[in-house]
A and B are shown apart, each in its own frame.
Chain A
Amino acid sequence: MSDVHSNSKFLVGIYDDDDVVLQAVKDVRKAGVKIHEVYSPFPIHGLDVALGHPRTKLGIAAFLFGLTGTLTAISLTFYTEGYDWPMIVGGKDSYSPIIYIPIFFELTVLFSALGMVATFLLSNGLGPTVKPLMYDLRTTDNKFAMTIDMSKNDIGEGDIESILKRSGAAEVNIKQF
């Protein structure tokens, strides 16, 4: 939440419906207002596109962590059974990669999943000691909030308020951090 400066002033438009807020995002942006963020109790399909957020690159993280897992598994099995203490069990070669495929697979998945989730938490600034910035407590229940950072907009407060109202906002509040 580094993009929020102390004593920033926000206009918070509260909406009752997910379809309304999705359309409102398009309308408000068309009206020339820069939207800070939208908060919702559940994911709204297409909202990130409407807001113009860039596509997430977490897939690359998942891939790279997975690759690390595979390489770890290959090195672990090679070091232990191919190099450090070669052993022939069940008539197989001391290092027999076909047999290690389950290990390769499990470590790939483990590393990929944990690494990606960790990246997600870090990149979104989530953690057990984080105090969330809640613009409206009802956004985890049944309301949708569109927040406008006043310091980033040249349009006057009254104008934005009427744009929000026209786009379907049930109420418009002011929130100061």
Chain B
Amino acid sequence: MGLGAGVVLVALGCFLAASGGGHETHEVAHAAGAEHAEGVAHHAYKWTNRLWANVWLNAIYFTGASVIGMFFMSYNYLAQAGWSVAFKRVPEALPAYLPIMGIVVLAVFFLAGHDLFHWTNPALYDTASPEYDPIIAGKHGFLNTPFYVIRVALYFVLWYVLWRMIRSYSLQEDLSGGTDYYYKSLRVGVIFLVVFAVTSSTSAWDFVMSIDTHWFSTMFGWYTLASWHVTGLAIITLTVLALKERGYLQIVTESHLHDLGKFMFAFSIFWTYVWFAQFMLIYYANLPEETIHYREIFSGFGGIYKAPFFINLTLNFVFPFLVLMTTAAKRTGIILKVAAWGIVIGHYFDFYVNIMPGTVGSHGGFGPMEFGMILIFASGFVWSVYSQLEKANLVPKHHPMLEESLHHDIN
């Protein structure tokens, strides 16, 4: 059902991306006249950099959106949450996109790692070279290609394998019932949480923080997790609403939607808290090696990232905070949808401002290429989620907490 729409979207996305590429060459020609990249890529900028940066940005964004499905299920098992069982198959469908994202991430790293990651330049570690950088050389034990590739591969393998396990238990539970699979899933969920406690932080360093190779922030791992998490929640909400509108998942009531709304509201505030804590401490202490990150976003590169910076804050904090504040809003499908779309778009910009300044600098922008790339990844994601949803009964009919979820009533 979503498949047809997906194919159309992919076609549209490809067309836009291709025409976006055409535009790009023009822009480069323009920019060549007034070249003043502030400490960006040491080697020449190619228009493909922007293309790769876009692939990378979307790959990281949708990796997060996928893995949060597993994260959501795991902590719901751990917390013995009953209410979420009614729509459990939705978060369960998200991580199916992980292998594709894993391949894309590794492919981009091999094909264009040199354009995106400053630290892949071997001259930085050569004391004889004029480009020798003692600070980056100090990080060589962590930031080197073999170790990096092993880590990235490990993230995707671990996340995917654990998801396959919990998914197969869930499907077997549908067939045979009993509480065995519940306890088995709980155990896998706990293992995932332990794995994710470490890998969510390290993957954030690898995927995003290492782009600004000099820059560092201890908060960054949890900050990225907060961003991924609320994105995932918004996607779960949107999918549940879409299914409900098409006549599926009628067991999902206003009470479930209310709780999803509360989750989006609360974790938008949590994201803001983490964002603010990191920003505040860097702003207050005013150390140049830390403030550079925000300087680049806020006033670097001719100020082109200033708008995304404010879009990020507005869509991810102000908007959900105001829209989802009242009880009535959290129980109304259309308002939830608007808020969830705001969050989904807003967190794209969160990754945008963290990835783009360090990869394309003054050549960044938001044009057809960005838009097209989002469409390609998003339609792939939608296709992946819907094909997973089609594979199984939408209601986990033998889940021991299903009855509780059906009687979930809050007001």
Per the CB under 8 Å rule, do A and B touch in the complex? yes
List residues of chain A with CB under 8 Å of any chain B CB.
Answer: 45-46, 49, 59, 90-92, 98-99, 101
- For the complex of A and B, the 9 pairs showing the least CB-CB separation, nearest first, are A91-B286, A98-B283, A101-B276, A98-B280, A99-B284, A90-B284, A45-B409, A101-B280, A59-B326
Which residues of the partner chain A approach B283 to less than 8 Å between Cβ atoms?
Answer: 98
Whole-angstrom distance between the Cβ of B392 and the nearest chain A Cβ: 33
CA distance A59 to B326 in the complex (A): 9
Residues from 273 to 287 in B contacting A, C-beta threshold 8 Å: 276, 280, 283-284, 286
Return chain B residues, CB-CB under 8 Å to A99: 280, 284
Looking at the assembled complex, report how far the CB atom of B202 sits from the nearest CB atom of chain A, in whole angstroms: 30
Give complex CA distance A91, B284 in Å: 9
Which residues of chain B are within 8 angstroms of A45 by Cβ–Cβ distance? 409
Q: Which residue of A lies closest to B280 (CB)?
A: A98
Shortest CB distance B287–A (Å): 12
Q: Measured between C-beta atoms, what is the minimum distance from A89 to chain B in Å?
A: 11
**Residues of A contacting B411 in the complex (Cβ-Cβ under 8 angstroms):** 46, 49
A-B residue pairs in contact (CB < 8 Å), sample of 7: A46-B411, A49-B411, A59-B326, A59-B327, A91-B286, A98-B280, A101-B280
- CA distance in complex: A92, B283 (Å): 10
Q: How far is the CA of A82 from the CA of B283 in the complex (A)?
A: 20
Q: Mark B265-276, 1 if CB is under 8 A from A, else 0.
A: 000000000001
**B interface residues, Cβ below 8 angstroms from A:** 276, 280, 283-284, 286, 326-327, 409, 411
Q: Which B residues are CB-close (under 8 A) to A90?
A: 284, 286
Q: How far is the CB of B277 from chain A (nearest CB, A)?
A: 11
Q: Which residues of A contact B327 (CB under 8 A)?
A: 59
Measured CB to CB, the nearest residue on chain B to A101 is B276
Question: Shortest CB–CB separation between residue B203 and chain A, in angstroms?
Answer: 30
Would you give the shortest CB distance from A103 to chain B, in whole angstroms?
A: 13
Given contacts A99-B284, A101-B280, 14 further A-B contacts (CB under 8 A): A45-B409, A46-B409, A46-B411, A49-B411, A59-B326, A59-B327, A90-B284, A90-B286, A91-B286, A92-B284, A98-B280, A98-B283, A99-B280, A101-B276
> In the assembly, what is the distance between CA of A90 and CA of B283, in Å?
11
- Beta-carbon nearest neighbor of A90 in chain B: B284
Residues of B within 8 A of A49 (CB): 411
B326 to chain A: which residues have CB within 8 Å? 59
Kindly list chain A residues whose C-beta atoms are within 8 Å of the C-beta of B409: 45-46
Question: Distance (Å) between the CB of A98 and the closest chain B CB?
Answer: 6
The residue on B at minimum CB distance from A63 is B325
What residues of A have a CB within 8 angstroms of the CB of B286 in the complex?
Answer: 90-91
Distance in angstroms between the alpha carbons of A98 and B283 in the assembled complex: 9
Kindly provide the distance from the CB of B394 to the nearest chain A CB, expressed in whole angstroms: 28
Cβ of A56 to closest chain B Cβ, rounded Å: 11
- Please, how many angstroms separate the alpha-carbon atoms of A166 and B73 in the complex? 47
Cβ of A101: which chain B residues have Cβ within 8 Å of it? Answer: 276, 280
Alpha-carbon gap, A59 to B276, bound state (A) = 27
CA distance A91 to B291 in the complex (A): 14
Least Cβ–Cβ distance between B381 and chain A, in angstroms: 35
Q: Which residues of B contact A46 (CB under 8 A)?
A: 409, 411
Give Cα distance in the complex from A98 to B286, angstroms. Answer: 14
- A92 CA to B327 CA in the complex, in Å? 40
A92 partner residues in chain B, CB cutoff 8 A: 284
Complexed CA–CA distance, A49 and B326 (Å): 19
Once the chains are docked, how many angstroms separate the CA of A45 from the CA of B408? 12
Q: What distance in Å separates the Cβ of B342 from its nearest Cβ neighbour in chain A? A: 21
CB distance from B63 to the nearest CB of A (A): 32
Instruction: Determine how close the nearest CB of chain A comes to the CB of B298; give it in whole angstroms.
Output: 12
- Residues of the B chain whose Cβ atoms lie less than 8 Å from the Cβ of A59: 326-327
CB distance from A108 to the nearest CB of B (A): 12
Q: How far is the CA of A92 from the CA of B286 in the complex (A)?
A: 10
Q: What distance in Å separates the Cβ of B47 from its nearest Cβ neighbour in chain A?
A: 37
B276 partner residues in chain A, CB cutoff 8 A: 101
Provide the bound-state CA to CA distance between A99 and B284, in Å. 8
A6 vs B286: C-alpha distance when bound (angstroms): 70
Name B327's closest neighbour in chain A (CB-CB).
A59
Tell me the minimal C-beta distance from B291 to chain A in angstroms.
12
Cα distance A20–B283 in the bound complex, in angstroms: 60
Across the two chains, which residue of chain B brings its CB closest to A60? B326
Given the complex of chains A and B, what is the CA–CA distance between A45 and B411 in angstroms?
9
CB closest chain-B residue, reference A99: B284
Chain A's closest residue to B283 (CB) is: A98
List residues of chain A with CB within 8 A of the CB of B284. 90, 92, 99
B86 → chain A, closest Cβ, in Å? Answer: 19
